[in-house]
Chain A
């Protein structure tokens, strides 16, 4: 069965520092991978997605993620964090283009220190 693990429940970084949020998945074939962000009191917003091709994908708000098949990982990165990036981040996996269901990770809450 598919699963998604986000090992870090909370992460704190200083503004201007780099960020990496971890995501590991379990799936036999190449999965469809996504990162979403949730600001307090809001719904989730799609940051980026990976289906195939270039393993480094660019998203909105200056985020990028790298798919590493050998490590079953899809980590989210940002070179320089802004205070407005404080939010909760969710990794999600889907089986294929024909599916209508994600499996979401449990989320990583990011705190940014001024």
Chain B
């Protein structure tokens, strides 16, 4: 089925470890996004890529880096994981900014111990 695929679905890291969350969409969407979801805080934008070749910071970019590898793929990297980065991470894509709405992946549940 067409959509947004995130890997892995679950991950446990030790403080200071690094990892990359992968996201791929097969809908030929131009824009891609990374959000984190924490209890009582809704979704907060980490980084987004309005189009291939561009990336911009969102609301909570500290501690993260992103790469828009091509039109399909947008990865999120944690260079040195901290317990405060324990969260559920969602990737999303859209074809016309917010107008058409976002298509979300099913999320990555990350625990940093």
Is A55's CB within 8 Å of the partner chain B?
no
Given contacts A44-B90, A107-B42, contact A102 B106 (CB under 8 A): no
A105 near B42 with CB under 8 A, answer yes
Is B74's CB within 8 Å of the partner chain A?
no
Give the size category of B's interface with A: 20 to 34
Give the size category of A's interface with B: 20 to 34
Question: Least Cβ distance of B50 to chain A in Å?
Answer: 5
A100 near B43 with CB under 8 A, answer no
Of all chain A residues, the one with the shortest Cβ separation from B94 is A100
Of all chain A residues, the one with the shortest Cβ separation from B107 is A43
Chain B contacts for A102, CB-based, 8 A: 43, 45, 98, 102
Question: Least Cβ distance of A13 to chain B in Å?
Answer: 21
Name 5 A/B residue pairs within 8 A (Cβ), A-sorted. A43-B92, A97-B98, A101-B98, A106-B41, A106-B42
